[in-house]
């Protein structure tokens, strides 16, 4: 997901391009202005944290762009592409390392496990995602 700061800072195209160029396949994409209750459900595991209220304010401050990307090891590798939670700990070359400064304005979200990805896909795309065959498949995967 591209968070409200990523949208406001015109990073939507840049972030999508990184996942496309890596070789992952887009399965769903939409812009949304979620209710606070939806964001609270999305971040339910962090509800006890001191930064929770600020996080929900931040996430509710503007539209977000939600995406589902598919591919081999996409959850693990996608998190590497995002960088560490704190931009100051993110390697240069990662999205957070290259485009942000503070943890509370870290421009993107990525599921942290396949289980949480499945849960988040259901939460954000209850209508389902798009199944399609990419003609580039044989140029990205050996088999």
Q: Does 112 bind ligand UDP (CB under 6 A)?
A: yes
- How distant, in Å, are the alpha carbons of 80, 92, 109 from that of 112? 10, 20, 9
Rounded CA separation 91/99 (Å): 11
- Minimum CB separation from ligand UDP for residue 96, in Å? 8
51 marked ligand binding residue = yes
Structure tokens at 80: 């590497």
109 part of the active site: yes
Q: Does 132 bind ligand UDP (CB under 6 A)?
A: no
Identified binder of ligand UDP from the candidate list 47, 73, 85, 88, rule CB under 6 A: 85
Binding site for ligand UDP (CB under 6 A): 46, 51, 55, 85, 103-104, 106, 109, 112
């Amino acid at each position: 997901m591209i968070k409200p700061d990523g949208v406001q800072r015109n990073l939507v195209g840049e972030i999508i391009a990184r996942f496309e160029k890596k070789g992952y396949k887009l399965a769903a994409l939409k812009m949304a202005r979620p209710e606070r209750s939806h964001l609270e459900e999305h971040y339910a595991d962090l509800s006890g944290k001191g930064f929770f209220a600020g996080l929900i304010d931040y996430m509710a401050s503007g539209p977000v762009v939600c995406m589902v990307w598919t591919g081999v090891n996409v959850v693990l590798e996608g998190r590497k592409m995002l960088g560490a939670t704190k931009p100051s700990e993110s390697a240069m070359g990662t999205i957070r390392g290259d485009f942000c400064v503070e943890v509370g304005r870290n421009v993107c979200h990525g599921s942290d496990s396949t289980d949480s990805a499945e849960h988040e896909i259901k939460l954000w795309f209850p209508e389902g995602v798009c199944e399609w065959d990419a003609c580039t498949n044989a140029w990205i995967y050996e088999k």
